[in-house]
Amino acid sequence: MQQRERSPSESLFWPVVWAVGLHVLMFGMLFVSFAFAPELPPAKPIVQATLYQLKSQSQATTQTNQKIAGEAKKSAAPQYETEQLEQKKAEAEKQAQAKAEAQKQAQAKAAEQKKAEEAQKADAAKKAEADAAAKAAEQKKLADVAKAKAALEADKKKAAEAEAKKKAAEDAKKKAAEEAKKKAAADAAKKKAAEDAKKKAAQAAERKAVEDKKAAALAELLSEDTERQQALAETQGDQTAGDFDDLIRMRAAEGWSRPPGANSSMRVVLQINMLPDGTITNVSIASSSGNGPFDSSAIAAVRNIGRLVEMQGLSPADFNPYRSFKMTFTPEDLAL
């Protein structure tokens, strides 16, 4: 049975439908790929249209279909290029938008970082200023303390120097007064010593004159012959004894030092022991005057006589009363 030959319109219907459906599918896939994978470059789609021909088609039909497919392919090529340009344009705009957004975020982040750095620098500067102010205040405080301490030390030193100067002046004044007092006392003592020496010398000279006079009288008395002495013994015994008493008082007065407080109302009785050659062996108190210093001075004055050579010319009978005898002394007796 011979098949019916298809008309040209029937032979072109299905290829056109297939081409349109394939383009729609490609646009959908391209849109989905752009929506979910913006960062990956889209793969370039390769559209291949395959026309299935029936074995039963004739050579003319096949050629016709090939011609129609070629025309469809030629008409689809400019559209694909347009779509590629639109896609690239959209991608470029999206990339530019993303780049602008990233740049905007980077600028915002840089601005925030810069603001944070400036705030940190301001805080650091403020802290440094506060630290400098605190350090300056501390240094000022230390300087004030040191200044006050130095002023106090200076005042103490000044007061100590003034006190030392005052004390030195007082010591010098006191020392000068003491030296003046010592000098005055020394001058007074020297003057008194000179006066005492002069007075003592005058007294010694006077005593010596009296002693010489008595000694001369005694020598003259002792030079008389024995007969005259015996003849005059009874009449002049008391006078001879009185002469030796005066001689003893005179010799005792030569070595006597008047003690303080001695007055004319004092009387001391001394017990005196003597050898025939005139040596005084012992002196003691027979009756005290009541004043110890005066009694001691009287004993010392008689002991200092030592020996009366004038007693050697007496006869045993005349000397016998002088072996142990008592004598009364007063300050007037010892201050001849």
Q: Are 208 and 325 part of one and the same domain?
A: yes
Q: How many residues does the chain have?
A: 336
Read off the tokens for 36: 């979910």
Q: Quickly state the pLDDT bin for 232 (edges 50, 70, 90).
A: very low
pLDDT tens sequence across 58-98 = 566 667 767 776 766 666 666 777 888 888 888 888 888 88
pLDDT at residue 191, rounded to an integer = 82
Read off the tokens for 41: 């470059």
The C-alpha atoms of residue 302 and residue 249 are separated, in whole angstroms, by 8
Domain membership of residue 123 (yes or no) is no
Q: Are 106 and 221 part of one and the same domain?
A: no
Domain membership of residue 121 (yes or no) is no
Boundary of a domain, candidates 66, 94, 111: 111
Domain membership of residue 328 (yes or no) is yes
**What's the whole-model pTM score?**
0.32
SS3 state of residue 44: coil
Domain membership of residue 170 (yes or no) is no
Domain membership of residue 149 (yes or no) is no
Boundary of a domain, candidates 83, 111, 139: 111
Residue 206's CATH number: 3.30.1150.10
Q: Quickly state the pLDDT bin for 47 (edges 50, 70, 90).
A: very low
Q: Are 214 and 318 part of one and the same domain?
A: yes
Domain membership of residue 186 (yes or no) is no
Give 80-120 as a DSSP string. HHHHHHHHHHHHHHHHHHHHHHHHHHHHHHHHHHHHHHHHH
Boundary of a domain, candidates 63, 81, 111: 111
The C-alpha atoms of residue 31 and residue 46 are separated, in whole angstroms, by 16
Q: Are 207 and 324 part of one and the same domain?
A: yes
Higher-confidence residue of 330 and 231: namely 330
Q: Quickly state the pLDDT bin for 283 (edges 50, 70, 90).
A: very high
The C-alpha atoms of residue 291 and residue 184 are separated, in whole angstroms, by 33
Domain membership of residue 244 (yes or no) is yes
Higher-confidence residue of 100 and 193: namely 100
pLDDT tens sequence across 285-328 = 999 989 999 999 899 989 988 888 888 878 888 888 889 999 88
**Pairing relationship of beta strands 268-274 and 280-287 according to DSSP bridges:** antiparallel
Higher-confidence residue of 10 and 136: namely 136
Q: Are 213 and 90 part of one and the same domain?
A: no
Q: Are 278 and 251 in contact (CB under 8 A)?
A: no
Give 223-284 as a DSSP string. TS-HHHHHHTHHHHHHHHHHHHHHHHHHHHHHT--PPTT--TT--EEEEEEE-TTSBEEEEE
Q: Are 295 and 256 in contact (CB under 8 A)?
A: no
Q: Per the structure, how many domains does the chain have?
A: 2
pLDDT at residue 9, rounded to an integer = 59
Domain membership of residue 155 (yes or no) is no
Q: Are 285 and 302 in contact (CB under 8 A)?
A: no
Q: Are 212 and 329 part of one and the same domain?
A: yes
DSSP 245: H
The C-alpha atoms of residue 23 and residue 8 are separated, in whole angstroms, by 23
**Mean per-residue pLDDT of the chain:** 77
Q: Print the domain residue range for 277.
A: 202-334
Higher-confidence residue of 230 and 216: namely 216
